[in-house]
Each structure stands twice: as structure tokens, then as C-alpha cells.
Amino acid sequence: MSELIPAFDWQRVMIDPWTINFSLYGWIALMGFLVATACGLVGNYLILRRMALMGDAVSHSVLPGLVIAFLLTSSRGTLPMFLGALAAGITATVLIEAIHRKTRVKQDAAMGIAFSTMFAIGVLLVSLYSEHVDLDADCVLYGEIAFIPLEPMVTWLGVTLGPVSLVRMGVVLLVVVGLILVFYKELLIASFDEALARATGVNPTWVHYALMSVLSVVIVSAFESVGAILVIAMLILPGATASLMTDRLAVMHGIAVVHAALSAWLGIVLGVWLDCSIGAAMVVGGAGIFTLVWIGSLVARWHRESRGGWGDDRGPA
């Protein structure tokens, strides 16, 4: 067991990544932060609308879309990726509706059947064509964020922006932030009160589909970094942590960003120390932060109640 956990060398784990190895870890940390932030911001809306399962479904079903796009175009270009993901997302939705609307199979089972079948097909394709596709089956699960710095760099107007995936993620994040800022009120109303939304001219169905599309884009962009399953954590953890601390959406967004930064940092720390997958380490870090906040909230509540007040309980009147 001792050989499993290397010694915690402060210099190597905490200092070096930000100094000597910064050219390597800098990009990784930044990518982690971008992924976690984008996922966290979109994930806030999933949590509010009780659609966490949607994140699960979309992340499983995009895989065959991605693989087929890679196979057809023999490239990892952005456009084929997004198109493949979009096609996969639509297929999944069609399948789920076909199952639970036409038979007595309920929605939860219908979703499970649809997205696990699509995921299985994706994994099979990856295994079959592993020579043609730059993916390997295990990386589908936990991504390969450590390879980000090895990608070709993007330069724009003479400035080196960063590795391809990172720039792509950055653009996606900017778009997400932009959409949230511009449509803040609409998203808020549509998530809390559909009737009010309709009355004020906001169409909840449009909001739903827009959210699903943005979700698919974010998941696909995050796929290479953290893989299919971990992206679910990235979607939910920041928002869940925030919901323990506040009920205001704007504050939730803020806390999500902080959580993302901390998770990215912790991911580097754990990844360097334990020599494990950095993507998984980021999620473990994020889960650790969540657990601390959770325990903290329980302690705070116990403390309040033992002093005998109402606390934040809304009693009668």
C-alpha cells in the first residue's frame, strides 16, 4: 500500500507545477478551469430545473456521434465534432421519446436504454477502429487533459493563444457567459416559473432546447479533457456546492466559478502527487470541496438549532 501513495514532496507537488513546469501545468490548469467553469455555469440551470439526469444522458450519447465524425472526416476538427454530437443528441432524444411515449416503459428506463445503447455502440466503434481513431476506450471515461499541452498551438494576430482544445474551450466559455449575461432574466424566469415565463413572452420550450444545445456543445468540448462520466461531476458539483451556501442564482454562478478554480488547482496537486489521471483528480478535488461545505452546513445548522432559535426555518407566520 505504501508503494501506492508516493511521499508528499511539497516542492514537487505544490511549487514546481507553477514554476519550473509551468509551461506544462499552466495549460492543464487553465484548461481544467475553463472546462469546470463552463460546465458549472450550465450545470446550475440543470440543477435548478431538476434535469441532472439530462447531463448523464447527453454525455453518454455523444460518444458515437464523436467517433463517427472522426471516422468520416479522419480529423478532430471542431465542426465535425459538433455536428456529430448534435446528430447523436437528436438521435438520443428521438429514441427516448419513441420508447416512453409509445410504450408503457417509463422515462427513466427509456433514458437508460437509449443512452446506454448509444454509449455501447460508441465504445464498440472505438475498440474496433482504435487504429484509425485517436481515442482509446479508457480515455473515453477519464479524458486526457494531460495531453493538452502537446497539441498544436493556435496563434491569432501573432499572439500564441494556446493549444487547440483550450482555445476552443475558451470560446465556448465566452459564448456561455455571454448567453447567460444577455438572457439572464429569461433563463431565470423560465427555470422557476413556466407560467410566468409564458406570460412575459418567454417561450419555455425554446429555452429548454437552447439549454440542451448549449449543454451538448459544452459536453463535447469538455469530452477530451475529462471524458464521458467525469463531465457529469463537473456539471453538478459546482452548483450543488453553491446551493448549500445560497439561493440566489447570481451568487451560485459566482461560487461555481470559485469552485472550478479550486478544483482545477486541487486536480493538479493530487495528480502530481499521486500520479493519477488529472481529470479524475479534479473531480475528486471538487467532491472534496463539496463534502467540506456539506459538513460545514450541517455543523452550522446543528449549532444554530442547539441555541434554540428558528434559524432559517420558516415556521408559521
Partner 1 sequence: MSPGNWNRGTRIVALLGIAAVLTSVASAASVSEMVDSNWREQLARFFSMRDASLRFALTGSILLGLSCGLLGSFIVVRRMALVGDALSHAVLPGVAFGFLWGMTKDPVAIFIGAVIAGLMGTTVVSLLTKTTRIKADTALGLVLASFFAVGLCLLTMIQNLPTGNKSGLDKFLFGQAAALGADDIRLMAIVTVCAVSLITLFYKELLATSFDAGFAQVAGIPAEWIHHGLMLVLAAAIVIALQAVGVVLVSAMLITPAAAAYLLTDRMHRMLFLAGGFGVLAGVAGAFFSFVGRGLPTGPLMVIGASTVFTGAYLMGPRHGVVARWWRQRSRAARTERENTLKALYHVWENDGFRDVGVTLADLAQRRRETLDDALGRSRELERHGMASVSRDAVYFTPQGRRRAAEIVRNHRLWELYLTNSANIAPDHVHEDAEKIEHVLGEKTVRELERRLDYATEDPHGKPIPGPRDIHGGLATGANPREGEA
Partner 2 sequence: MTVAANGAIPLEIHDLTVAYHKKPVLWGVDLEVPAGQLIGIIGPNGAGKSTLIKACMGLLPIQSGWVKVFGQSLKDAPTRVGYVPQRESVDWDFPVNVMDVVLMGRYGRLGLMRRPGKADREIARECLDRVKLLPYANRQISNLSGGQQQRVFLARALAQQADLYFMDEPFAGVDAATETAIVTVMEELRDQGKTLLVVHHDLPTARSYFDSLLLLNMNVVAFGPTESVFTAEILQKTYGGRLTILSEVASTLAAEEGGNPLRR
Interface ranges with partner 2 (CB under 8 A): 104, 106, 308-310, 313-317
Diameter of the chain by CA atoms? 68
For residue 308, the partner it binds in partner 1, partner 2, none, with Cβ less than 5 to 8 A by kind, is: partner 2
Say whether residue 244 binds partner 1 (CB under 8 A). Answer: yes
For residue 90, the partner it binds in partner 1, partner 2, none, with Cβ less than 5 to 8 A by kind, is: none
Site string for partner 1, 46-65 (x = CB under 8 A): -x--xxxx-xx---------
For residue 309, the partner it binds in partner 2, partner 1, none, with Cβ less than 5 to 8 A by kind, is: partner 2
Residues 71-130 that bind partner 1 (CB under 8 A): 99, 102-106, 108-109, 111-113, 116-117, 119-121, 123-124, 127-128
Q: What minimum distance in Å lies between the beta carbon of 56 and partner 2?
A: 23
| Residue with the three cell numbers 421519446 | 97
Site string for partner 1, 206-235 (x = CB under 8 A): -----------------------xx-xx-x
* Candidate list 28, 173, 220, 270; residue touching partner 1; CB under 8 A: 270
For residue 315, the partner it binds in partner 1, partner 2, none, with Cβ less than 5 to 8 A by kind, is: partner 2
Residues 6+ apart with CB under 8 A from 281: 266, 267, 268, 269, 270, 271, 274
Q: How far is it, in rounded angstroms, from Cα 71 to Cα 49?
A: 36
Q: What minimum distance in Å lies between the beta carbon of 150 and partner 1?
A: 18
104 or 307: whose CB is closer to partner 1? Answer: 104
Q: Report whether 70 contacts 205 (CB < 8 A).
A: no
Say whether residue 45 binds partner 1 (CB under 8 A). Answer: no
